[in-house]
Amino acid sequence: MPVDETLATYSDWLYRSALGVYLFAVLLYAVEQAFARAPRKAMVGAGAPDILTDAPKSELTRAERIGRMGAAMTVLGAVLHLGSLVMRGLSAGRAPWGNMYEYMSLLCLAAVVTWIVLMAKFPIRRLGAFVLTPILVLLFLGGTVLYAESAPVQPALRSYWLVIHVSVISISSGMLLIPGVTSILYLLKDTNSDRFPKLPSADVLDRMSYRTTVLAFPLFTAGIILGAIWAEAAWGRFWGWDPKETVAFVSWVVYAAYLHARATAGWRGRGAAWINVAGFALNVFNLFFINLVTSGLHSYAGL
């Protein structure tokens, strides 16, 4: 079907708007991080805590109110971001993750939504600048270096598996970006808590990293299995040690090792966090180097 250029233009506008809103949110988070008080333990009977901060609503400081604005801007950015993907899909009449630009957009949206959910569960809002900055970098690269015009996908991708496999693997990879960042922060906090007094406790960072990975890992596993099924249908084999398949499998092994280490007394803490950081590095390596530098059966970057 022909591409609807008007909807494609709206998609690009929404993408850029989301990028701008995320940038503003990062600035607000940075202000809160710079001027907020160090986290303190909630006192029994002090009132219901705000889900986005560790202080009762009646005691919110100016910095914390600015942080709440950052959280609201993040939600707004996610809505605009989702709108850009919907418009891109409608303009081309297909699932909007058929090239690297679109894949990156979906992955980053999954990371942002994961962050919004985590803010509602843990007193971690002031980490927003740390978490959203790498997402901003990915979105900027996606909208510049990796940008592709709205168009039909290659014949090899005209399959219902594009909807199933690519969406699952992209969403799970985006979710796994968050525990990678928080594991790095955990290592900083655990090394010298006095030097980073405004970071949440090492225990909070550890639990957040673990729970996010626990949720993302089954999705990541399903994405790899679904990809193998698609490979058998398209290429006549379930597994061929293609570069992307190989790195995805190594990443899966690393994340499985992290979950095992996190449940093992001798490895819990710093050892497990280092393994999670290794998984994060492999995730980013697979996203860029494998997709853009190496050649293989998965070379559908659209560049």
Q: Which residues contact 203 (CB under 8 A, 6 or more apart)?
A: none
- Per residue in 135-178, pLDDT (tens digit) is 999 999 989 988 988 888 776 667 777 788 889 999 999 999 99
Assess whether 78 and 163 both reside in one domain: no
Assess whether 149 and 190 both reside in one domain: no
Higher pLDDT among residues 133 and 56, named by residue:
133
pLDDT on residue 251? 93
pLDDT on residue 183? 94
Assess whether 108 and 211 both reside in one domain: no
pLDDT at 179 over 90: yes
- Per residue in 199-224, pLDDT (tens digit) is 888 899 999 999 999 999 999 999 99
Assess whether 143 and 244 both reside in one domain: no
Q: Which residues contact 195 (CB under 8 A, 6 or more apart)?
A: none
> At 57, is the pLDDT very low, low, confident or very high (cuts 50, 70, 90)?
low
Assess whether 297 and 285 both reside in one domain: yes
Q: What is the DSSP string of 71-119?
A: HHHHHHHHHHHHHHHHHHHHHHTS-S-SSHHHHHHHHHHHHHHHHHHHH
Assess whether 74 and 169 both reside in one domain: no
Assess whether 130 and 165 both reside in one domain: no
Assess whether 105 and 197 both reside in one domain: no
pLDDT on residue 79? 98
pLDDT on residue 45? 41
pLDDT at 254 over 90: yes
pLDDT on residue 39? 61
- Out of 115, 132, 153, pick the residue that ends a domain: 153
pLDDT at 46 over 80: no
- Residue 236, helix vs strand vs coil: coil
Assess whether 166 and 293 both reside in one domain: yes
- Out of 153, 185, 200, pick the residue that ends a domain: 153
- The reported pTM is 0.86
pLDDT on residue 303? 46
pLDDT at 280 over 90: yes
Assess whether 141 and 14 both reside in one domain: yes
Q: What is the mean pLDDT of residues 79-90?
A: 96
The answer to whether 178 touches 124, Cβ cutoff 8 Å, is: no
- Residue 56, helix vs strand vs coil: strand
Residue 233 belongs to domain spanning: 154-303
Assess whether 37 and 97 both reside in one domain: yes
- Out of 153, 180, 201, pick the residue that ends a domain: 153
Question: Mean pLDDT for the chain?
Answer: 84
Number of domains, the chain: 2
Assess whether 137 and 166 both reside in one domain: no
> At 42, is the pLDDT very low, low, confident or very high (cuts 50, 70, 90)?
very low
